[in-house]
């Protein structure tokens, strides 16, 4: 069962934003349109309610409805891997069980943020969640957001003790740590990059793909990094890696998904609203984003200039 999942859950799993309308309600029609665009553009999978999807700004009911909308819209055409983690153990447990009930292909569970659990507590948290479901579980390690790093030895224990923990999304700038994940968890453990500038390098050491926020505005290109690598066209994959670097850089000059939503608003994809406490980028950064999009041919000079 999990071997099949390990083959299917590869490539660019796009972490889609949660669009809001002008009344700050979740815009489910816009979400459906984004998912259709991603499938048409070649994204290999869809993830919702991860960091880019502002899960901390959503109610539990909204998170469930976003997950269900994504699963129903994708309708089996690509895998759907919703983010089901929380700083609250009971919420994470509930959402992961609901993801299974809805038909998700896997659940992505973040290291709890803010409360800074120790390594044994992290082990207990993830083991209870993994044992509660049969679907694959991908752990999400992002120490810059959570203030806690899931150590390799803890991850290795979890992968050994829970057969449905099949991978990890590493948003970890420590590339030595990332190398040791595959050394200690096994080369068939699914390793995804959650850092844009490491999407290609992780493939080079045996990674399974990436969960890159940039896919929200360049889904084909982000997917093609994986496609080119998988086809053995290493030079073209490296060229695309460097071509996307200025775009990646500008999208992370403020906290994600602020710059990303601004860019998507300029492109006419969504209303670029964020719920408080998040807020839009400065006017200066928005202009830099606009000029970057123009440079990539994603925008004309006139569009988004108002």
Active site residues: 140, 169
User: For residue 9, is the peptide bond before it cis, meaning its omega torsion is within 30 degrees of 0?
Assistant: no
Instruction: Please compute Rg for the chain using Cα positions.
Output: 18
Residue 188 CA to residue 183 CA, distance in Å, equals 10
Q: Which of 274, 266, 276 is nearest to 305 (CA)?
A: 266
Q: Which of 228, 222, 227, 162 is nearest to 198 (CA)?
A: 222
DSSP 154-202: HHHHHHHH-TTEEEEEE--S-HHHHHHHHHHH-TTSEEEE-SGGGHHHH
CB atoms within 10 A of CB 245: 12
């Amino acid at each position: 069962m999990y071997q099949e999942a390990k083959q299917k859950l590869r490539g660019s799993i796009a972490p889609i934003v949660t669009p809001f309308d002008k009344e700050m309600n979740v815009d489910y029609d816009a979400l459906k349109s984004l998912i259709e665009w991603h499938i048409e553009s070649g994204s290999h999978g869809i993830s919702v309610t991860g960091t880019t999807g502002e899960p901390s700004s959503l109610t539990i009911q909204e998170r469930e409805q976003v997950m269900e909308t994504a699963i129903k819209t994708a309708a089996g055409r690509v895998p759907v891997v919703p983010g089901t983690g929380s700083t609250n153990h009971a919420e994470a447990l509930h959402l992961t069980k609901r993801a299974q009930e809805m038909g998700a292909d896997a659940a992505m569970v973040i290291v709890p943020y803010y409360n800074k659990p120790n390594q044994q507590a992290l082990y207990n948290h993830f083991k209870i969640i993994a044992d509660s479901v049969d679907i694959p579980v991908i752990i999400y390690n992002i120490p810059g957001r959570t203030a806690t790093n899931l150590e390799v030895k803890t991850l290795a224990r979890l992968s050994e003790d829970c057969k449905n923990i099949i991978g990890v999304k590493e948003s970890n700038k420590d590339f030595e740590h990332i190398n040791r994940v595959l050394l200690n968890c096994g080369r068939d453990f699914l390793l995804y990059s959650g850092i844009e500038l490491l999407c290609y390098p992780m493939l080079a050491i045996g990674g399974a793909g990436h969960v890159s926020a940039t896919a929200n505005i360049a889904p084909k290109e982000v997917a093609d990094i994986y496609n080119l690598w998988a086809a053995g066209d290493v030079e073209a994959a490296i060229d695309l890696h460097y071509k996307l670097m200025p775009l990646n850089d500008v999208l992370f000059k403020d906290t994600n998904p602020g710059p990303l939503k601004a860019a998507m608003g300029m492109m006419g994809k969504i209303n670029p609203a964020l719920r408080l406490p998040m807020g839009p980028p400065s006017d200066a950064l928005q202009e830099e984003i606009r000029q970057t999009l123009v440079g990539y041919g994603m925008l004309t000079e006139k569009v988004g200039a108002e």
